[in-house]
Amino acid sequence: MSEDCIFCKIIAKEIPGDILYEDEQVMAFRDIQPAAPIHILIVPKKHIPSINEVTEEDETLLGHLHIVAKKLAEKEGIAERGYRLVINTGKEGGQIIYHIHLHLMGGKKLITPKHL
């Protein structure tokens, strides 16, 4: 728990979030400013600022985020059509919230930027 972290506050239920899934390790809630018809954030309960700070100890947790994403994609009915999973890292990676989160986006044909 980091005092000034908005995602820690959602996890602690100090501020509301549109929570879709929760277990001991992670929480998933809808993005407040969706970039696609379905836009869910899968967030570890452990406060890790970014991928730059992960250690070997977090290997299972990072895998678990993806398993939860896969299940939510199925639940939201977009598994077959396809979707995108993204973790932005650092300033040039477009990270705004410094608490790791996996974006699950889908429900429309997503535009792939030219640099990818």
* 95: partner contacted, choices ligand 5GP, Zn ion, none (Cβ within 5-8 A by kind): ligand 5GP
* Binding of ligand 5GP by 44 (CB under 6 A): no
Among 95, 102, 105, 106, binds ligand 5GP (CB under 6 A): 95
Among the listed residues 39, 101, 103, 115, the single catalytic one is 101
Using CB under 6 A as the binding rule, the residues of this chain from 75 to 94 that contact ligand 5GP are: 88, 94
Angle subtended at Cα 100 by Cα 97 and Cα 103, rounded to the nearest 5 degrees: 85
Give, for 29, the enclosing helix (H) or strand (E): strand 26-30
Q: What would the x/- binding string for Zn ion be over residues 39 to 58, using CB under 5 A?
A: --------x-----------
Half-sphere exposure of 88 (CA within 13 A, CB side): 13
Look at the alpha carbons of 88, 93, 96, 98 in this order and tell me if their dihedral is positive or negative. Answer: positive
Instruction: Choose from ligand 5GP, Zn ion, none: what does 5 bind? Cβ within 5-8 Å by kind.
Output: Zn ion
**Could you give phi then psi for residue 102, rounded to 5 degrees?**
-100, 120
